[in-house]
Amino acid sequence: MNVCVVGGAGYVGLVTGVGLAQIGHRVVGVDIDDERVSALNAGRSPILEDGIDLLLERNLTNGRIRFTTDFDEAVTQCEFVFVAVGTPSQSDGQADLSQVIQVAESLQNHLAAYKIVVLKSTVPVGTVELVRDILGEGKEEGRDFDIVSNPEFLREGTGVRDFFEPDRIVIGTSSASALKATRELYAPLIDGDNTVDHAPIPVIETDVASAQMIKYASNTFLATRISFINEVAGLCERVGADVREVSRGMGYDPRIGHAYLQAGLGFGGPCLDKDLRALIKIAETSGFEPGLLRSVLDRNELQIDDVVRKVKFMIGHLLYHRTIAVFGLAFKAGTNDLRNSMAVKVVTQLRGEGATVKAHDPVDFSEAEQAGIHSCYVADPYEAVRGADALMILTDWPEFSALDYGRIRDLMASPAIVDARNMLDATEMAALGFSYNGIGRGVDPLSHAGRP
C-alpha cells in the first residue's frame, strides 16, 4: 500500500515508516525539518536506535521509503496518512494539539480521493472528533476519509524490535472498511508470516475513545510502578532492606512481574511524564479527581530531591564551588534523547546550587542546547571525574559498569559515589575505598539522622 507518514523524521514517525517499508509497503516520510530529511535520504538516521540504520539503508536502496518536505506531493499519492507529530505538554499538563490541528487543516485540501487518516500521535479523547470536524468541512466521512486511532507502544532503545514484535496492535475506529484496511496494512505482523519471525500478534479492535485511553492508561500504569518501587526503596532504607531483593521477590508473582520495578532516579523521557500529566488534565476537565495519579507524579519529582540530598550528605550541604562528576545525560541507556531527562533535571539542580558539573555520556552531547548541557559535557569519563568531590551515576549505560573504578578513585578529590541506577556492587566499591550510596540498598545514614 502507499503510506504517507507525517512527522516522518521524528522518532515515532521514522520507526513506523521504516517498519512499514520493511513489511512491504511504499512509504513517504514528510517532515518540515530540511536537515533531517536530507540526512535521511542520504541514509543517516537522526535518532540512536538499534537496527534503524540497517532498515533505513535497505529500504532506501530498494525504493520502498523516501523522505520529503513537500506535504502536498506526499499526501496526494497515498492511501494511508499516518499522523506522527509531537503532542508535547503545555504548562498546565494539557497535550498541545497544535501540530495535529495543522496537519488536519493541511490535509483537508487533499481529500480528492478517499484516505484513511491514522492517528499515531498520543492524543487525548476528543481529538478524533476535532480532526473529524476539520476534515469534514465540505467532505464526508466514510466517502472522502475515515479516521483510525492506532497508538504506538515504542520504547526508545528497543523501538525497532517493538514495531516488529508488539505486545498488541490497537485499532480504534467506527468504520468497518477502515478497520479491514488497517488490518491488511499490518497483516505481515498480525499473521506472523515469513517477513517477520514471531507468533501472531493480538489485535485490539475497539472504539476511538477506548484506543486513546489504552495508550494513556498503559503509560500511566508503568509510571505508577516506578513511583511505587521508588517509594518502597525509601522505606527499605529506613528498615535496612535491599530494594533489589524486594523487587526480585515481588516479580516472581505472575500477577506482578519484574518489568518496571527497578528503583532508581524515576521516570523521564518523552512519554511517561507527558502522558501522566495529560491524563491528570483529562480527569480534571472531566470533573474527576485523579488523586492516585497526582501522587505518582509527586513521588517522581521527589526522587530528584532525594538523590541530590544523598550527594549533599556525602560531601556537605553547600554545593557552591563543589565539583560533581555525572555519568549519564540521556533519559535512558540506548538513546540520544534528552527530552524530560531526569539526569538533566539533576544537573540543572546541582548547577542551580552553585556546583560545577562535569558530565559524561557515551552519546556526544557537546552540541546539545538543552539546559546548557554542552557547556558541562566531557567526552572522556576519566576526565569527567578528575578532581571531582563526588560522582553521580544517573543513566544506566552498561559502559559505566565496565570502567576502572580504581583509576576513578585515584582521579577524584574525594571518593564518593551516588549510584542512582544501582549499577555498581556496593561491597566492591567499599573495598576500593569509596563512600557509596545507592537507591534502597540497606540503611541510609540519613534515615536515622536526629534519632537518639
Whole-Å CA distances, 47 to 44, 157, 229, 303, 337 = 9, 10, 30, 28, 8
pLDDT (0 to 100) of residue 444: 55
Could you say which residues of the chain have pLDDT below 50?
194-196, 447-452
Q: In the annotation, is 236 catalytic?
A: no
Q: What pLDDT is recorded for position 353?
A: 96
Q: What is the pLDDT of residue 194?
A: 43
Collapsed DSSP state (helix, strand, coil) of residue 206? strand
pLDDT of residue 197: 57
Cα–Cα distance for residue pair 66/27, rounded to 1 Å: 7
**What's the predicted TM-score (pTM) here?**
0.92
- Which one from 4, 236, 271, 376 is the annotated catalytic residue? 271
pLDDT of 200 reads: 78
Domains, the chain, in order of start with CATH, read 2-206 (3.40.50.720), 297-448 (3.40.50.720)
C-alpha cell at 6: 507525517
What does the pLDDT read at residue 198? 62
Nearest to 170 by CA among 146, 141, 204: 204
What is the Cα gyration radius of the chain?
Answer: 24
pLDDT in tens, 374-402: 999 999 999 999 999 999 999 999 999 99
pLDDT at position 45 is 96
How much is the pLDDT for 165? 94
Q: Are 103 and 6 in contact (CB under 8 A)?
A: yes
CB burial class (10 A; 0-12, 13-18, 19+) of residue 224?
buried
